[in-house]
Chains A and B, each alone.
Chain A
């Protein structure tokens, strides 16, 4: 099992450009998440999904969009990139949302917006 995979690993964008961060998991998990991690701060939830076709906003959704057409894939779309979106982005998945259900993380995408 590959677990959670993310592409690309690194990306530099110019202000105003758009891009899609890809996330795929092969564990048949219903729950998937997108986080951003900024230096000196905790992970912040951007969007999450409880199953194919269902998505919901997290704590910091502005400037982002997601879709969940299949159980495996959960892409994150950045429209009109801004320097404030410079961050490390992690995708995660879990089999459940309650109890001792650990989240499995992808390796991350390091995004710089200049």
Chain B
């Protein structure tokens, strides 16, 4: 079967750095996406990785290791507005997105 695993919840302090991990087992791989979802709102796109390595975009970076079936999202200089759920999704061999349950990130002052 296809499976995406992420921690259910994480807590971090404003101004700090947090790493959210995602492991996956899917039938085929055509890229990995990270989305942000604030409570009661729609998901919004953060990043895309298809090759191994680190992609940096401002305060957010995403890493991929295809051989390990592993990715992480790194958030630096955390702000209160970063309190949200972070969704990991893998595009499988049929070009359909398989979604993790999301990691709820709580930022404390």
Contact = CB atoms under 8 A, between A and B. Distances in A.
Interface of A: 40-45, 48, 58-59, 90, 97-100, 102-108
B101 A99 contact: no
Contacts, number: 48
A43 B89 CA distance: 9
Interface string B5-23: 0001000000000000000
Nearest to B98: A42
Contact of A58 (B43, B91, B96): B96
Give the interface residue-count category, chain B. 20 to 34
A43 to B, nearest CB: 4
Given A48-B96, A105-B42, A43 B87 contact: yes
B103 to A, nearest CB: 11
The CB with the most chain A CB atoms within 10 A, among B43, B48, B101, is that of B43
B4 interface: yes
